[in-house]
Each structure stands twice: as structure tokens, then as C-alpha cells.
Chains A and B, each alone.
Chain A
Amino acid sequence: MRLALGYVPLVDAASLIAAAELGFAKAEGLTLDLVREPSWATLRDKLAVGHLDGAHILAPLAIASTLGLSGPQTRLCVPMALNLNGNAVTVSRPLWDAMEAADDEVDTVAAAFARIARRRAREGRPLTLGTVHPFSSHTYQLRIFAERGGLDLDADTRLVVIPPPQIAEALRRELIDGFCVGSPWNSVAVAEGYGRIAVLCSELVPGCPEKVLALPESEALRCAPLVRALDRAGRWCADPGNSAELASILAREAYLGTSAPILERAITGDVVVDLDGRRRRDPHFALFGEAAHRPDPAHADWFIDQAQRAGQLEASDDLRVAARAVYRPDLFDAALSG
């Protein structure tokens, strides 16, 4: 069977790419046509009209799409999660210097950030922050980061949406003062000299749901071979012994087109946060494999809560039930026991 799967160039698309490149898909009788998409909206709409059979997608967007909150309403199912964590908040170097954070602990950095953000708001030139999509863990992580420092994100900053592959460039061109994005784009901003990683989101919201595999609900009963292939591929990606090989595959022009050493930082969680080479290590920086794969309906609850706090929806019992129903641990269990 031939499947067209969409992805946005990010490290957490690793299991799709590994499944296609390393024979995990073939072992299940599948041929994967991976389609790189420039933005989440494009991916979402192609999934909606059937140009894609499935996709690597922001978990909140899979729910928003099913609920009709983003783009054409499309009933999706999530038979598997792809990863937990993997994002970071990066700020411009001038902003970091102005923050004068005494250390790299989350509370210190959040307080320093809030101080500057409030001052800039008072001066009538509020900070502009980039997120990757309204319905993304990134949007919620930025809000949580602001709250940790006692900052009202809505009142004191401007939030704009920029797709991941362009967000570092936006910082370089000083269109934004900081952003929250997945790997490798934080490390790219650091390596190219204009960004300073302020916070690893794995330290801000531990075990945060991130990308999932989403398929049209009509394909739910046929997803077992794909789930098995991606589960094996994801476990392979999670094995530290494979980090270098995974980085070199993802680095190819056809996939992420980024340097392998930068990708490896994100894969191993040994993150370089500034140009001087200061490191921040977190083995949970991006979690693949067994720790992440089984889709957890509790994650849907978290998204609904966060989306409500962000003013994106009015939560109701019906909405919660519909959101939880997108997550299908039953399909995951059936695929792996079959």
C-alpha cells in the first residue's frame, strides 16, 4: 500500500523519515511518499481534502481541525503520538543582554523576560513574539512562560504566527524579538549568531504533548501497519546509539536541509544555548519512542484547558468529549498487539 504523508520540516518528523528511509515501512508492506509542507495550514487543508493520507501534525491542530476551529472541519483520528517536548523559547541577543538573567533557571529567566516585556509595553513598543500556529503547544508554552514571570502576554506583548522554517529568519531580520519553536530552529538561530535559547520547554512544561500522527477518521481501521512501522521507527530514533545516523538522514536537503551537528544537539538534548557554547542538558528535551507513542486522551483535556485560557474557545462537556475522542489509544493497542 502506498501512503502520502505530510510533514513540516522539524526534528519531530523523525519517525516518518526513518520509517521511509530505513525499511520500517517496507517491512509492513508500505511505501511512504513523504511530502514536505511549508506551513501547518497547507498541511491541514491537504489532509482535509485527501491529498494526504496522513500527517505529522501539531496535536492541538488535529483536535482543532476535528472540532472545526481551524480550517475546514475534518474528522481526524490520532492512533499514535510521535513525541513529547522538543520546543524551546529563543530570544534575540539584544533582548537577552537586556534581560541580564543571573542564571539559566526557568524562574530567573521568566522574571527577567517579564521585566523587559513590561518596560517595553510601557514605552509603547511592546515585544513581538513568534509562535508557529494559533493551535499549538508553542502558543500555550509562551503563555505559561509569561505567567511564570508574572507577565500578561495578551496585554503586554504582540503575538504573531510564523511557520517553523521561517521563524529563525524572522528573528535575524529583527521582525520579532523572540519565538517558541521546535527543533532544530532554535539551535539554528543560536548557531547563526542572532538568537539565545532562553528556556527549554521540557523544563517549563515537562512531558508536554507535541506532534501526533493524524489520519482521516475514515481510515482508522486501516492504520495498523502504519502505526507499527512508525512505532518501530520511533523506537529506533529514541536509541541514543542511532543519534548520529538519524541526524545525518534528517540533514539531507530533501528533508530538513540543516547541518547534522545542529540536529544532533536537538536529538540528544545536549543543547547549546549561546554562541559561547554554553550548554543546557535535558535528557527529556525531546522524547521519542516508547515514552511518547501511546496517545493519551488526557492530553486532549490539557489542550482544551489551554485553548480556553487563550480565548480560543468556550469549553463545554460536549467539546471535551469530542476532543478526547480524537485520541485513539485503542487503535494503538490493537496495532501493536496484532
Chain B
Amino acid sequence: MTDPSLTVAVIDPSRARAAILEEGLRAAGIAHVVIIPDTADLPAQVAALNPDVVVIHLESPSRDILEQMSGLSRHVERPVAMFVDRSDAPMMQAAVDAGISAYVVDGLHPQRIRSILDIAILRFQAFARLQRELVEARGELADRKIVERAKGILMAARSMSEEEAYKLMRRKAMNEKRKIADIARAIVTAADLFG
């Protein structure tokens, strides 16, 4: 369902997340997707682009700035209005949970907003999952490094083979119901203290 008529603006302090969302929207057939940097001249840029939908990160301070474009006074510059379809509470909940807010021009068909938000939610969730995995992977890498160091300390101090050192740590971890990395960390700390 290619939609050449629709212009979507994406505003996100995370450039990576903005790029992921842009790619998702394009893949869904929305030809005109523009990433607007979350900076001071945002209102002018939004006004110049004149988008049908603005997808913006929930935590962006620029949300208040965008909202003014509809409600500040009778001198409305441009009707960038409302959150999502107000009758659609689960959709709103899902959007906020995923960290998304959206503004649409009045009169845009709810179904079209919905499909854009669906994509945004999926992409934001995917981004969050990637980030989580990255953090976990970093943690695992750090754990592996510390286990290696502890093994080396045990091997030198107690003239053990690598395998024996690892088994000793594993047994200790099981007996104390702790993670092997925690035991390794204790060994490394103690070794540092004893010099």
C-alpha cells in the first residue's frame, strides 16, 4: 500500500532510532518521510515541511513546542493537533509504553494514522530490544573477561590447570548459589588487595 500523498516527520533525539523508524515507514510504502533534528528551530522546520503526521519521541522536550502550534492563541500557525485518536485507548497506551507520541493534521483518516503508529510502535520496540541485547552482550563479555582473569590467578596461586580452576569456581558458585562471574570478581578483588 504505497502512499505517495502522505508526508511523515520523525523527531527523535536518538538518530539511530529515527533512522530505524524512517526505514520502517518507507518499507510500508510511505514515500515521504523526513527526519527533523530535535533542535531550536524545530517549529520553523515543521511549518516549512507541512507534514500530515509527526511522530515524536515521548520524552522529547520539543513536544510542548509542537503542541503550541495548535493551542496557544487564536493566531494558529498550523493545526498540528492531538495525540492519537482519543477513542482508541489501547493504541494510546501501546504508543506511550513504546515511548511514542504523534501529532496529526485535522481530518486525516484514523486508519491511516493507525497504520503509521503501528509501524512506529513495532520499530521502537525493536530498537529497545536491540539496546537491551547490546547491554546484555556487553555484560556477558565483561563477565567472560573477569572469569578468565580469575582462572589465571587461581592457576598461578594454586598450581592448577585451567580446567581445575574453572571447576573450583563453578563448585563455589553452586554451593553459595551465586553466579560464577561473582565468584570470579571476588577472586580478582582479593588478588588486587593482596597484591
Listed in ascending order, the chain A residues whose CB lies under 8 Å from chain B are 37-42, 45-46, 48-51, 68-73, 131-135, 139, 153-154, 159-163, 165-166, 170, 173, 175, 310-312
Contacts and interface: CB of A to CB of B under 8 A. Distances in A.
A32 B117 CA distance: 33
Given A71-B83, A163-B61, A41 B101 contact: yes
A134 B43 contact: no
A165 B65 CA distance: 13
Contacts, number: 90
A161 to B, nearest CB: 3
Contacts of A154: 73-75
The bracket for how many chain B residues form the interface is: 20 to 34
Contact of B86 (A39, A46, A49, A68): A68
A39 B60 CA distance: 8
Nearest to B76: A311
A130 to B, nearest CB: 10
Given A71-B83, A160-B43, A42 B71 contact: no
Contacts of A37: 59
A73 B64 contact: no
A132 B58 CA distance: 17
A51 B72 contact: no
Given A72-B83, A175-B40, A42 B74 contact: no
Q: Which 9 A-B pairs have the closest CB atoms?
A: A311-B74, A161-B68, A41-B63, A134-B71, A38-B61, A39-B64, A49-B96, A134-B72, A163-B61
A89 B187 CA distance: 60
17 contacts: A38-B60, A41-B64, A42-B101, A45-B58, A46-B96, A49-B96, A70-B71, A133-B64, A133-B67, A135-B71, A154-B74, A154-B75, A159-B68, A160-B65, A162-B65, A170-B40, A311-B73
Contacts of A51: 96
A312 B74 CA distance: 7
B93 interface: yes
B92 A49 contact: yes
A38 B96 CA distance: 15
A131 B72 CA distance: 9
Contacts of A40: 64
A38 B59 CA distance: 6
Nearest to B75: A154
Given A154-B74, A161-B72, A41 B67 contact: yes
A42 B58 contact: yes
Contacts of B65: 160-163
Contacts of A311: 73-74
Contacts of B92: 48-49, 72
Contacts of B75: 154
Interface string B34-74: 00000010010000000000000011111111011001111
Given A70-B71, A159-B72, A312-B73, 17 more contacts: A39-B63, A40-B64, A41-B63, A42-B101, A49-B97, A50-B93, A51-B96, A71-B67, A132-B64, A134-B71, A139-B72, A159-B73, A160-B68, A162-B64, A170-B40, A310-B72, A310-B74
A173 B83 contact: no
Contact of A134 (B60, B62, B67, B96): B67
A45 B101 contact: yes
Contact of B67 (A48, A70, A153): A70
B67 A72 contact: no
A50 B93 CA distance: 9
Contacts of A173: 40
